[in-house]
Structure 1
Amino acid sequence: MSKILRQQIEKITPLSDNEFEYILSHFTERKLRKHQFAVQCGQAVKFDYFILSGCLKSYHTDNDGKIHIIQFGMQDWWITDYQAYYNQTAATIDIDCIEDTEMLCLSYENREKLCAELHKMEHFFRKKTNIRNVALQQRILSLMSNNAKERYDSLLEQYPQLFQKVPKHLLASYLGVTRETLSRFNSTSK
């Protein structure tokens, strides 16, 4: 399973076997069951998670108890509460498993150590952060500018596998629509 991590890193920078083994030694493996939390609001965030298999969601629950999906995470994706992870503060969001999940966990200390010791890893994480920043900006602009059907079509085009893994009510929350609206989109897309 660790080959998934190596493949992702090597999309950005080549690694020798020794370099990869050293990098991998800074991660710990974790398996979570469906509905188990990786991050809970109010608790310390110790890890950035690289997903080997499974699916997770990160979300905020507002004062009325409504869940707002921020992000999904699937194989070959990273997920954590980045504000809490980088600032070493308590989580402001929850992250839990939509299905059984296997992850590699990287502590903030080990990430900093790898970046200090291996320019390749500093380069990798900088590139991944840039990609995440662009995706976040696109999501914000889409929420502000696109209608619900356009957001649905874009998500379906970019990540069709989400529609097999994620329950409809969670997709609806992510898109900012009701489940009924999502069902209407589903029936018109077939």
Structure 2
Amino acid sequence: MDRLRLHIEQITPITDEEFEFIRSFFTLKKVRKGQYLIQEGDDVKYEYLVLSGIYKVFYTDDQGKEYVCMFAQENWWMSDYSSYFNQTPAAMYLECLVPGEVLCLTLYGREKLASEMHKMEHFFRVKMTRGFVALQQRIKILLFNAPQKRYEEFAKLYPVLIQQIPKKMIAEFLGLRRETLSRLYTNSK
């Protein structure tokens, strides 16, 4: 749980007493490779803070084709946010690619923390704002860049992911065919 405190204090300082209160809302979960934290149709009970491991958040179409929305690694937050905040069945999947640990936070816990502690309301607002900005950047990269530039941006932003995620999944994330990504990967070495 010390990592949770360090994570929060990157945005706002907290006292020992405040941290004990905050910590009481989180539960630790170990996650195996291939384990789903969320599947389509599930009740989405948690938002997750990644302590370790790598995770994939994705949709599938009627034919089973995957559309990767994001990969999550240490200190990233993840969930099916539409379902989490609206308390509706999940529309996406959240799968563990590299075993790790996550901290789980219910919507009730999140709301209680935000309403009772201005520091946590500020923390959640900053994290959500940063996530929104990152999403806009991802959309811009996908809309305006050629495949080579998309790959270069991804490699620059996420060097750990390039090494640990199968190329097929990176291709899905970048909106490329696997063959195109293989050619780009070979040319960049």
| TM-score bracket for the superposition, by shorter chain length | over 0.9
Alpha-carbon distance, 1:18 to partner? 1.5
Residue equivalent to 1:102:
101
Residue equivalent to 2:28:
29
- 1:53 and 2:52 equivalent? yes
Query: How many positions carry a matched residue from both structures?
Result: 189
**Distance in 1 between the 2:85 and 2:143 partners?**
27
Alpha-carbon distance, 1:4 to partner? 2.1
Where 1:63 maps in the other structure, the secondary structure is coil
- 1:89 and 2:88 equivalent? yes
Q: Taking structure 1 as the reference length, what is the TM-score of the superposition?
A: 0.97
**Distance in 2 between the 1:165 and 1:14 partners?**
33
Within a 5 Å distance, the mapping from 1:68-79 to structure 2 comes to 68-79=67-78
Where 1:56 maps in the other structure, the secondary structure is strand
Which consecutive residues of structure 1, in runs of 5 or more, have no partner in the other structure? none
Q: Taking structure 2 as the reference length, what is the TM-score of the superposition?
A: 0.97
- 1:115 and 2:126 equivalent? no
**Distance in 2 between the 1:41 and 1:58 partners?**
11
Where 1:135 maps in the other structure, the secondary structure is helix
Partner deviation per Cα, 1:38-87 (whole Å, 9 max, x = no partner): 00111110000001111110001112221010010111111100000011
Moved over 4 A (4+): none
Where 1:97 maps in the other structure, the secondary structure is strand
**Distance in 1 between the 2:181 and 2:98 partners?**
21
Residue equivalent to 1:15:
14
Give RMSD over aligned pairs: 0.9
**Distance in 1 between the 2:108 and 2:14 partners?**
21
Which consecutive residues of structure 2, in runs of 5 or more, have no partner in the other structure? none
**Distance in 2 between the 1:107 and 1:168 partners?**
33
Q: State the one-letter code of the partner of 1:145.
A: F
**Distance in 2 between the 1:83 and 1:156 partners?**
28
